[in-house]
């Protein structure tokens, strides 16, 4: 199991479009992928779970990957989150 703390950079948080992008990215991996936000733990491969968590911009989350390709999953999803989940966020 690998974990990494990340900050959501999307100005509108994880609404439908970035939540969908995150879930699609997570589905590329065989590992179990969980997003922990405070007391909430959601399955990253479910767009409804990700949206339902109500994660806002600037929120710190913990990405938890466990499985055969956990290292690749952690890196790939972390990069997607840090780059704005397809919304072209500029730093």
Instruction: Enumerate the active-site residues.
Output: 15
What is the Cα–Cα distance from 27 to 30, expressed in whole angstroms? 7
How many other CB atoms are there within 10 angstroms of residue 82's CB atom? 14
What's the helix, strand, coil split of the chain in %, to 5? 35, 25, 40
């Amino acid at each position: 199991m690998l974990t990494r703390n990340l900050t959501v950079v999307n100005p509108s948080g994880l609404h439908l479009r970035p939540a969908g992008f995150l879930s699609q990215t997570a589905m590329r991996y065989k590992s179990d992928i969980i997003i922990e936000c405070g007391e909430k733990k959601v399955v990253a491969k479910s767009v409804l779970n990700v949206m339902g968590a109500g994660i806002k911009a600037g929120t710190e989350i913990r990405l938890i990957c466990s499985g055969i390709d956990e290292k690749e999953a952690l890196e790939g999803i972390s990069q997607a989150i840090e780059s704005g989940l397809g919304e072209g966020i500029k730093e």
